[in-house]
Copies of this chain bind each other. A is one copy, B any other.
Amino acid sequence: MQLQLTSPLDMHLHLRQEGMLQNVAPLSSKSFNGALIMPNTLPPITTKEMLLAYKKEILEATKEDNFTPYMTLFFNSSYDYDFLKSLKNEIVAIKLYPAGITTNSEGGVAAFDIEQLRPTLEAMSKLDIPLCIHGESNGFVMDREAEFIPIYKQLATAFPKLKIIMEHITTAASAKAVLEHKNLYATITLHHLYITLDDLAGGMLQPHLFCKPIAKRPEDREALLNLALNAHPKVMFGSDSAPHPKSAKEAPGCAAGVFTAPIALQALTELFEKHNKLENLQAFVSDNAQKIYKIFPPKKEVVLVKKEYTVPSSYGDVVPFLANQTLHWSIQ
């Protein structure tokens, strides 16, 4: 038994820099045809020069595959129309982080004052540049995503022509909200389709399952599964694969991030098969994203075969999601 996927895309990917990038980028390009590259590097990507240099670094690391890095800028309310226009052909989206909400987001937006953000968001709207948002408040960890929903709604209403992507949604509340505004869309990760807070902290504590937003309740996962397995046109796959060295995960002050890139397609296939929804996987991992972002990736066929595959215990010094577990699908 096999499944052919055409041009799979990962619409939320952290490739990091230097040695880590050399380690992880080829693992994404083996599975995926392209990915939306997150800009929260150190320092974050905020200029054309940085963007082009980062893109070059990624292309070099993935040169054995036909891989397209869809680049993003780190949102900054000083970006004006002319600056964004000059970058229109280089970027696919701009990523907005509330300040301090996740890895390397210290330079993010501290207060959601629509008037202060308006010039940049209007320019993006005119230039048809989507806005990706890590939507969490600074409230109690289980409430942060739900507390951010009014801001999504306010932005969606104030900028009706701006495409807004609710990144890595984790709650039933977000799964509902994305359907309520025409210009809201969402990415869903692999791990939030697999785990709940129980997997992180219900038995022993599992630092390799610690991520932001934190995995939520079983009913939240159900709501995400409902959208993903049916490949609702408002949602697409974004792994949020976020590698950290083992030493940063297995210690007090463990960094947030689950590394899923090399096993994401295999695990998604297993999940969709389990729910008898294999026919929707193509849309979830590629077609929906192409329509939402208006991107046209070069054609690449990835064939998954029903053959047991044991996930390695690590890739370099990074421990992947489902390490040492056996999946029933492999990439041919």
The chain A residues found within 8 Å of chain B, CB to CB, are 140-142, 196-198, 200-202, 204-208, 210, 214, 217-218, 250-256, 319
Distance A206 CA – B217 CA, assembled complex (angstroms): 20
Q: Quick one: given A205-B207, A205-B210, A207-B205, are A197 and B252 in contact (CB under 8 Å)?
A: no
Can you identify 7 A-B contacts, CB atoms within 8 angstroms?
A140-B196, A141-B197, A141-B198, A142-B197, A204-B255, A205-B207, A250-B252
Chain copies in the assembled complex: 2
Q: Quick one: given A200-B201, A214-B201, are A207 and B141 in contact (CB under 8 Å)?
A: no
Distance A207 CA – B250 CA, assembled complex (angstroms): 9
Minimum CB distance partner of A138 in chain B: B202
Question: Cβ of A214: which chain B residues have Cβ within 8 Å of it?
Answer: 201
- 8 extra A-B contacts, CB within 8 A, seeds A204-B256, A205-B253, A207-B254: A140-B202, A140-B217, A201-B201, A201-B214, A204-B252, A204-B255, A206-B252, A207-B207
- Whether B201 contacts A141 by the Cβ 8 Å rule is yes
Distance A72 CA – B48 CA, assembled complex (angstroms): 69
> Contacting A141 at CB < 8 Å: which of B202, B251, B255?
B202
A-B pairs with the 6 shortest C-beta distances? A205-B254, A141-B202, A204-B253, A205-B210, A141-B198, A250-B251
- Whether A218 contacts B255 by the Cβ 8 Å rule is no
Distance A208 CA – B205 CA, assembled complex (angstroms): 10
Minimum CB distance partner of A199 in chain B: B141
